[in-house]
Chains A and B, each alone.
Chain A
């Protein structure tokens, strides 16, 4: 079943044409790797999906419905989560607050006064952190005090806590140690088993070949290759990225 469809998506920043008509589809339970050189437009493409950028042309459909131009909150509510390359964390908030950012459960004190339900946030964040096996000192820790890898775990936990249907990961393993990278790759396989769609952006081609069903190469804002992982080789993918084809 087609989960996400991009149809001729365009985006420009002033004189820079970051996306020149990208067409792409992702099925439920499919892991699609998106590769390309620095500045190819990978992050821009993903941010147009999540509503951070409004596309200048083309259409985006999710579960058959047009989501082009919706706000990030509305798109998250439909089940698209993204782990941003810069992680998008509030450094002065603690781990639990970051995991629930934008989705804080609210209880009513004495039946009237709305308050963020801190206890629920803490217990559920802790459960998620444990499930992911992330190495964090405590969910009460300010995120800014954590190491780069730990911060990445927080961003991953946030993307997976609310039963997403599609998870977009922009370099999710860039700051992780070997053990944690293995863990993320295992997570991606687990997502596939749960019929969740995954778009993985990575410069580490060994990781890409370890988990991806399909590999899409982007160059200067255009899709220049879209192949089954089993039907291609690392040399071919490298050639697409650097533009030898």
Chain B
């Protein structure tokens, strides 16, 4: 054993905050798609993938923060739907200026997340149950508010958020990149991010070292809800409607993307860079299956399989000591 004076460099896999495998998977997937479909390797398809990944990607970032702290948020997809519906109702039915509709949608997401956080910390109810309950509540509320009918006729400024293409790049892709940059800084470089990981690693230690664990968890669930709200606005803007069934089952894809990116399902490790790659994997997978005209029923199965496989791979490599 060497002395501290002669530092030993830890293995590469420990210095990187994401799994190299996820990058390999992404490259393999892209190569396979390029061979299988002549349309895959085109700029317009690449932008399509980014566009399709944006909603899931923003959602997956929310999932990453919560899972890093050893929590879980199953309500992501439903909160996405509710936020979009609220945004659309404010814009179409209440006819408020578009920035207010935007804020209303985001605030709805944040509020749902805040309620999740309070119930998990103050109520002492497992996150799995709280967010499963919220999954039902938010979806039900979205259906009630709209009578089950999509709300059409958004302000053009809102539609631009989903369909606009400054410099040819879809707006949702730009928003996704911006959100990824900000959250990467937050998770990787700030105290907030480090405490998120430490809480997921050893909650008792975090508390003993003076970290306000409860307050932090409330902030995390609120952030997750806010990101679901952001994804909800993007979705609403892209389809130009407040659809109460928007984001149905998206939590599955979002959590899968986070896990593929190297987020430890049991907390303590994860990165936005990894989740970004994981989201692209899911985007390419869905895009490829679409190009190959595979029915969406099969796509659901594919995503579920990938999730289980990713967790299995992660766990078995951890057991081997990586």
Nearest CB of A to B314, in Å: 13
Q: Which of A4-51 contact B (CB under 8 A)?
A: 47, 50
Are the CB atoms of A106 and B14 closer together than 8 Å? no
CA distance A91 to B203 in the complex (A): 11
Chain B residues whose CB sits within 8 angstroms of the CB of A77 once the complex forms: 210
Q: Is the C-beta of B10 less than 8 angstroms from some C-beta in chain A?
A: yes
Task: Decide if A135 touches B1 in the complex (CB within 8 Å).
Answer: yes
Bound Cα distance from A136 to B1, whole angstroms: 8
**A interface residues, how many (CB within 8 angstroms):** 43
Q: Residues of A contacting B5 with CB < 8 Å?
A: 130
Q: Once the chains are docked, how many angstroms separate the CA of A88 from the CA of B209?
A: 8
Q: A82-B208, A90-B202, A106-B191 are in contact. Are A138 and B4 (CB under 8 A)?
A: yes
Quick check: A88 and B190 within 8 Å, CB to CB?
no
Q: Is B122 an interface residue (CB 8 A)?
A: no
Inter-chain contacts of A135 with B (CB < 8 A): 1, 3-4
Q: Known A104-B194, A114-B190, A142-B10; judge A137-B209 contact (CB<8 A).
A: no
Convert A104-132 into 0s and 1s, putting 1 for each residue whose CB lies closer than 8 angstroms to a CB of B: 10100000011110000000001001100
Q: Which of A142-179 contact B (CB under 8 A)?
A: 142, 145
Q: A115 to B193, alpha carbons, bound, how many Å?
A: 10
In the complex the two chains form, is B208's CB within 8 Å of A115's CB?
A: no
Q: Is the CB of B269 closer than 8 A to any CB of chain A?
A: yes
User: Are B198 and A101 within 8 A (Cβ)?
Assistant: yes
Q: What is the 8 Å Cβ interface bit string for chain B, positions 98-139, against chain A (1 contact, 0 not)? A: 000000000000000000000000000000000000000000
Answer yes or no: B155 CB below 8 A from chain A CBs. no
Q: Which of A68-76, A207-215, A237-245 contacts B (4 or more CB under 8 A)?
A: A68-76
Is A233 an interface residue when CB atoms closer than 8 A count as contact? no
Interface range on chain B: under 10, 10 to 19, 20 to 34, or 35 or more? Answer: 20 to 34
Report whether A134 and B201 are in contact in the complex, using a CB–CB cutoff of 8 Å.
no
By a CB distance below 8 angstroms, the chain A residues around B169 are none
Q: When the two chains form their complex, are residues A93 and B7 in contact, meaning their CB atoms are under 8 A apart?
A: no
A138 touches B191 (CB 8 A): no
Check: B297 CB closer than 8 A to any chain A CB: no
Given A92-B201, A92-B269, A93-B201 in contact, is the A102-B210 Cβ separation under 8 Å? yes
Q: Is the CB of B197 within 8 A of A93?
A: yes
- Choice from A47, A106, A138 contacting B10 with Cβ under 8 Å: A138
Chain A residues with Cβ under 8 A from B15's Cβ? Answer: 140
Contact present for B8 and A138 (CB under 8 Å): yes
> Within the assembled complex, what's the spacing in Å between the Cα atoms of A242 and B66?
47
B9 on the interface (CB 8 Å rule)?
yes
In the bound complex, CA of A102 to CA of B202 (Å): 13
Contacts of A126 in B (CB 8 A): 4, 7
Q: Contact flags (1/0) for A184-218 with B, using CB distance below 8 Å?
A: 00000000000000000000000000000000000
Q: What chain A residues lie within 8 Å of B309 (beta carbons)?
A: none
Whether the Cβ atoms of B208 and A138 lie closer than 8 Å is no
- Tell me the minimal C-beta distance from A195 to chain B in angstroms: 24
How many angstroms from the CA of A134 to the CA of B7 in the assembled complex? 13
Asked whether A137 lies within 8 Å of B191 as measured between CB atoms, the reply is: no
- Shortest beta-carbon distance from B9 to chain A in Å: 7
Interface centre among B9, B10, B204, B209 (most CB of A within 10 A): B209
**Per-residue contact bits, chain B 183-220, to A (CB 8 Å; 1 contact, 0 not):** 00100011100100110011011111111100000000
B208 lies within 8 A of A72 (CB):
yes
Q: How far is the CA of A94 from the CA of B11 in the complex (A)?
A: 13
Query: In the complex, A92→B15 CA distance in Å?
Result: 11
* A-B contact sample (12 more), CB < 8 A, given A104-B194, A113-B185, A135-B1: A73-B209, A84-B208, A88-B208, A91-B202, A91-B268, A93-B194, A102-B211, A114-B190, A136-B4, A138-B10, A139-B7, A142-B10
30 contacts between A and B (CB under 8 A): A52-B208, A71-B210, A72-B207, A72-B209, A73-B212, A76-B210, A77-B210, A82-B208, A84-B208, A88-B204, A89-B202, A89-B205, A90-B201, A90-B205, A92-B201, A93-B194, A97-B194, A101-B209, A113-B185, A114-B190, A115-B185, A115-B189, A126-B4, A134-B4, A135-B1, A137-B10, A139-B4, A140-B10, A141-B14, A145-B14
* Minimum-distance CB pairs A-B, first 3: A73-B210, A102-B209, A88-B205
